[in-house]
Structure 1
Amino acid sequence: MNAAAAQVLADGVDWGAFAVNLAVAAGAALAVMLVTFAIGTAKGLHRIVDVAWGIAFAAVALTSYLLSAGHGDDARRLAVAAMTVVWGLRLAAHIARRGRGHGEDPRYARMLARAPGSPRLYALRKVYLLQGALVWLVSLPVQAASYAALPLGPFAAAGLLLWATGLLFEGVGDFQLARFKEIPGNRGAIMDRGLWSWTRHPNYFGDFLVWWGLYLLACATWQTAALTLVSPLVMSALLIWGSGKRLLEAHMADRPGYAAYAARTSGFFPRPPRRIPREAG
């Protein structure tokens, strides 16, 4: 047995093959974002990058699954690829349906209105390439899990449970909100029913669980656990303090009834609503 093969047996990971995967996965994420940039520029609608977010994760997962054949445990490879693809494509389809018939996202419109130089190149750098880099970084557990040669164990089982719970929160929360908005009398009203009475952001909380669940599948060895810990931490920061919860709540703050809703409803982690009288009107 040569030294490289002995090291793979000792670590449980083929680090050389994993390094190649990192480069190819970056290319896959970049390709999705560049194609989306071309479409968004042609349509004058950069909000479609939000659809590409989930698709790019699916592309990285499929790339890692194909490249890791013969290097990682087959059950782990298939599980992490399927979990990521299901999550990514569900999210992409939901955002595409939600945005159908709408104009540019106000966030991107404001950003590009203040862009120094060419708005097109600014959008490429600050929207598409940045999101492509984040896809690559956040997907590190998906890539690493694909190259772990050890069989599935308790961490993987816990990860699957977290992922399933998160996907349920996302799907049910999105469905409840969509049904609420379909009722004409609810136009401009605050959604405070179902999961939305337990947390102001069931979809973001679902994302949080999904990515910590995928991280647990990468915890086959202490090396992969340490290497990929940054990914769920970054995703958690984005959801809570970055472009998720913080920006949405700033946008919603002036709506009638929102202050009372925020006072009785958890900002992120679900809990029963506080018993506070609702704001009149």
Structure 2
Amino acid sequence: MLQTLTRFGVVFLLGLGITFAGSHTGASWLGWPVFALCAGLAFALQWLAFVPAWRLQTETFYDLTGALTYLSVIWLAVALTPGQSASSLLLAACISLWALRLGSFLFLRIRADGKDSRFDQIKPYASRFLFTWTLQGLWVVITAGCALAAITSGRMAELGLPGMLGLTLWVLGFAIEVVADSQKRRFRRTHGAERFIDSGLWARSRHPNYFGEIVLWLGIALMALPALQGWQWATLISPVFVFVLLTRVSGIPLLERKAERRWGQDPQWQAYRARTPALLPRLRA
């Protein structure tokens, strides 16, 4: 019980910290910082979605809820902040396109698979299941934090050099993620889930979709950069958070352990693992 309370406490402290930083010098609505309203909405949506998910013991709409939360908080920020520029709308559009694409992809995948095995040992316990939804709220707030801070600052003007570089990185990362997911989906349709994919982008990186994810959020941070000042600079933790989450916590480590359990004794898997980087794609095929 104490461990669970500690985990919730850490999440709330991190959420409050990034909310304080992102709200600094930003727009307000009825006396409330718009950034704070967006952060509150992010957590509220998770807790509302948890109720039917717990009653039905399902994780089917977990990822879809995450995507809809991104859309909700980003466009709430746009709606409540006066004088939005074209750069702000472009930033909001980039995140929205990413959320729509990834959210629909993950929802269709779990509908086809029937479940997400990561939740098997979590769903039966209310506190642990609630924590995963709360953690998703924090994920949204931190990951989108620099974009929310920029949009609610009201200071976004021309993209400039950092913005153009950021947009280029976002397009590159988004394209890599889309192509990698598409290649893996086609491979699974042909070969099933019992074989590992080692073709296309997956011949250059064992997790090219995660590489694309990290690159596109770095692009978002660069696009937001010119509008930030003061404590808002702390929201630039966004791409670092994505990198750490995917490479040290819930992304690559979980998938690598799962792959080792399934194919660890397979010489073809061992050869593939030896020649293919985990994340950064090798240039030569």
Query: Structure 2 counterpart of 1:173, which letter?
Result: A
Shift of 1:53: 2.1
Which of structures 1 and 2 has the bigger CA Rg? 1
Aligned to 1:157: 164
Runs of at least 5 residues in structure 1 that lack an aligned partner in the other structure = 1-12, 114-118, 275-281
SS at 1:64's partner residue? helix
Equivalent pairs counted in the alignment come to: 253
Secondary structure at 1:218's aligned position in 2?
helix
**Hey, what does 1:223 align to over in structure 2?**
229
CA distance in structure 2 between the partners assigned to 1:77 and 1:172 by the alignment: 27
Q: Determine the structure 2 residue equivalent to 1:145.
A: 150
Partner of residue 15, structure 1: 25
Correspondence 1:1-281 to 2 at 5 A: 15-17=25-27, 20-70=33-83, 72=84, 74-112=85-123, 119-124=125-130, 126-146=131-151, 147=153, 148-183=155-190, 185-221=191-227, 223=229, 226-254=233-261, 255=263, 256=266, 257-272=268-283
Name the stretch that deviates more: 198-207 or 14-23: 14-23
Give the letter for the 1:87 counterpart: W
Structure 1 length as normaliser, TM-score?
A: 0.83
Deviation at 1:103, TM superposition (A): 3.6
Change (3 A) 1:247 1:175: same
Report the more deviating stretch, 244-253 or 97-106.
97-106
What SS does structure 1 have at the residue aligned with 2:278?
coil
| % identity of equivalent residues | 31
Give yes or no for contact 1:34–1:128 (8 Å, CA) kept in 2: yes
Answer whether contact 1:21 1:64 (CA < 8 A) is retained: yes
Distance 1:187 1:244 in 2: 18
Give the 4+ runs in structure 1 shifted more than 6 A: none
Deviates more, 1:221-230 or 1:257-266: 221-230
Structure 1 CA distance, aligned partners of 2:49 and 2:274?
Answer: 39
1:111–1:260: structure 2 CA closer, same or farther, 3 Å change rule?
farther
Report if aligned partners of 2:170, 2:216 keep a CA contact under 8 Å in 1. Answer: yes
Specify which structure has the bigger relative contact order, considering alpha-carbon pairs within 8 angstroms and separated by 6 or more residues.
2
The unaligned stretches of length 5 or more in structure 2 are 1-22
TM-score, L = length of structure 2: 0.82
